Structure formats: C-alpha cells, structure tokens
Amino acid sequence: MAIDGGFSLQLAFETFYELCPKVAALPFLISITNKGGEVVDNEEVINALSDVFLHPEYTIPLVHCFLPILRRVVDRVVGLLRLVGDLSSSIDYSDDGWSVLENAMKEGVSVIDFYVRRGQRLELHECACLAFSRALHLNTTLLG
C-alpha cells in the first residue's frame, strides 16, 4: 500500500523482494519488474504471482504485499489446480524436494508444473492446502 492508502504495484513488488530476496531471481517475475514504470498487463502480474503463491516460503509475504489483488491470484491458482486432475502420487520421496523445487523455479517452472511433472500430485495438494489456509488466516474475505 502506498502512504495515501492506494495500492502501488511497484511498491508491492519492492516490499515482496525485500521480504523474499530469492523471489527476485525468478524468471516469471523478472520480466515484470524489468518493465519498471511501464504499464504491466494485469493478467501477466496475476499469472506470475499465481506461480509463486503455492510455495510455502512465499505465501505469507505474497498475501501481505498483494492483498488488494489477492482474490484474483487465488482464483487463478484454483483454476490451475482444477486442471491437475488425479491427486495420486507415483514417485519415491528420497530426494530433497525443496532444493529441487528452488532450482526448478529459478529455471521458470511454476510450483504446480514442478509437482505434476514429477508425479507428486499429493504433495501439490498439501502445498495448496497449506497456502490456502495461510491466506484465509490472513484474509478471511477470501471466503466470500
């Protein structure tokens, strides 16, 4: 939020990057911030934030920084999750999923695509439940 109570997308991104420095290196967010003061397509912003929303480390800061547009982000994530389908998993869990997820996101892979490609749909469901419960805790208006 700007000092006058209005929402400033640029200020929201600056705050988000201060809270989560690793996010600033993600390709789908770099393209938005490189535009600087230019007008950014709203759908482009919503899509980029939707790719980050389910990451457990970024959900709470994202909710804090982008509260005025959070409903649209959540609606987009719900729409993407409906496309996933079956939640059964077909992979062994021996590797360190978090470091692999971080590397995949640096290459431009969204959280949803990461888990679907690895056959870890149940883990995706767990991430979604965690993200949605955190968002609802911080903003109960998402229920209505």
Q: Where are the domains of the chain?
A: 9-143
The token duo for 106 is 């640096």
The per-residue pLDDT for range 1-50, each reduced to its tens digit, is 455 568 888 889 999 999 999 998 888 888 887 776 555 568 889 999 99
pLDDT at 140: 85
Looking at the chain, the whole-number percentage of residues with pLDDT higher than 90 is 38
Vertex 108 angle, CA 106 and 113, to 5°: 115
**pTM of the entire structure?**
0.81
Cα 21 to chain centroid, rounded? 14
pLDDT number for residue 62: 96
3-state class of 120 per DSSP?
A: strand
Measured in whole angstroms, the distance separating CA 27 from the mean position of its chain's CA atoms is 13
Between the alpha carbon of residue 8 and those of residues 38, 58, 105, 106, 128, the distances in Å are 13, 19, 25, 26, 27
The whole-angstrom separation of Cα 44 and Cα 42 is 5
DSSP at 38:
S
Tokens coding 92: 């062994």
